[in-house]
Amino acid sequence: MMLRPSGVISAMLTPWKAGQPDMDMLRKIVDFQIAAGLSALFPVSSVGEAGYMDVEQKRAVVETVVEQTAGRVPVWAGIPATTTDESIALAHAAERAGASGVVLMPPSFYHYDAATLTSVFRQVASAVNLPLCLYNIPFFADPLNAESVAELAAHPNIVGIKDSSGDAVGMMKMLSCCPREDADFAVMTGREEFFFSALCAGATGSVTATAGVLPEVMCKIYDLFSEGKTEQSKALQFAALPVMSMMASLPFPLGYKLGMSLRGFPLGENKIPLSDEIKQKIDDLSFSLNKEITSLLTLIK
């Protein structure tokens, strides 16, 4: 059976230095997140500003994360692109680097119907030897419906989905088509605010930005749930909502970048110069977010 995603996985943020990924800081982030108990890492993610990366930068980030991870946890490499050929090339590069699996969102920028999207995923999955995790992210690309997901789940190389839609009804339909008991396909929530609820509904875990910023908290929610301590898991989920809401209040992904900085991992200048208004909002949020993060970390000690 192929590896499938499960547990708590971080959608990794990317540090930048002089316009390039800062590999030294990236290695420190890898070690921090693994030490905190994460199940796996997902570099070249949406929150990691994959949209700003060229092909070589995507490859280099994956290579660095795989090398630094050194087999301690699986690495699910993002292979986002506007063309199937580029996604396949990135998947092959990820395989050569030693990645455990790949994560593919629908092609961005242009719009397609469900049948075309299904064809794209099948084509990429059939061209690679790694397990492939679907990525439903309507914020950036055409949405995947439950019927398409169920159809794609039959492909031997397609092993799961990261559903970042925030659509509880849509996720329930996916879970109905692909239940937790299906050992070959995993449904993972991509929304941290919905983590506990998704676990109750049958999801096998989460892949989120908050798992990178606060891995200790997200792992604790999962561990408590797995131990049957559902009330404590739910209480921690509710306690974490203010931090999650604060990070989501800034233009994506700036709030999560601020959170990483407050955890001691500055991510460098934004790739797009920010307005004075946005800079002020970041400054205004910094104190209260730091206070909430400190309080939350104290709560789980």
The catalytic residue positions are 135, 162
Structure tokens at 172: 């329930």
Alpha-carbon span 144 to 12, nearest angstrom: 23
Contacts of 226 (CB under 8 A, 6+ apart): none
Side-chain-side CA neighbours of 70 within 13 Å: the count stands at: 5
What DSSP state is assigned to residue 100? S
Query: Is 62:88 a contact under the CB 8 Å cutoff?
Result: no
**Residues in a beta bridge with 207:** 9
Q: At what angle are helices 23-35 and 55-69 packed, to 10 degrees?
A: 40
Which letter, b or e, does each residue of 39-57 get, where b requires 16 or more Cβ atoms within 10 Å of its Cβ? bbbbbbbbbbbbeebeeeb
User: Could you tell me the sign of the dihedral formed by the alpha carbons of 196, 199, 203, 207, in that order?
Assistant: positive
* Cβ–Cβ < 8 Å for 76, 103: yes
- Residue pointed to by tokens 């709560």: 299
